[in-house]
Amino acid sequence: MTVTHGGGCLCGAVRYEIEGPFAPIQFCHCAQCRKAQGSAFGANVPVASADFRLVQGAESLREYRASPGKRRVFCGTCGSPLFSQRDDTPASLRLRAGTLDDGAELMPGVHLQAASKAPWWTIDNDLPRYPGVAPD
């Protein structure tokens, strides 16, 4: 049996569904994720693009490219960040965990870009952490 998870933006203009289980959450502490999320880190869930389905609000989607080859997709009405996707890896996207309706199945996974963390934030758990990206 395939499990379907729903989610969307703050105002409800954008809705999506994801089929299947979730990968562990990647907490990214880079400056771009902090600014894009307005928080100490981005909480991202890797998802296969084939498992992601937009069910409402395609016309509300906007994107911003803070760096070449990577688009950050958000709701143009309320500004909720929804996911990011790299041009060189179209088969996957990084879903913003906070946009899920029910994240009960989510599990914390790893801290990335920990060397760039906000100076006012302490990483106080035993999850693996890497100063940059995770090794292959």
Q: Is 132 within a domain?
A: no
Residues 6+ apart with CB under 8 A from 28: 41, 42, 44, 112, 113
β-partners of residue 62 are: 74
Residue 74 covered by a domain: yes
Residues 130 and 111: beta-carbon distance below 8 Å = yes
Residue at 112 is within a domain = yes
> How many structural domains does the chain have?
1
Residue 126 included in any domain = no
Residue 51: domain span: 4-98+106-116
- On whether residue 27 sits in a domain, the answer given is yes
* CATH code of the domain covering residue 60: 2.170.150.70
Q: How many CA atoms lie within 13 A of 78 on its CB side?
A: 13
List phi, psi (to 5°) of 68.
-60, 140
Q: For residue 135, is it within any domain?
A: no
Per-residue pLDDT 10s for the chain (136 aa) are: 678 999 999 999 999 999 988 999 999 999 999 999 999 999 999 999 999 999 999 999 999 999 999 999 999 999 999 999 999 999 999 999 999 999 899 999 999 999 999 999 999 999 999 999 988 7
Q: Per the domain annotation, does 42 fall within a domain?
A: yes
Question: Which strand (E) or helix (H) includes residue 53?
Answer: strand 52-56
Residue 44 located in a structural domain: yes
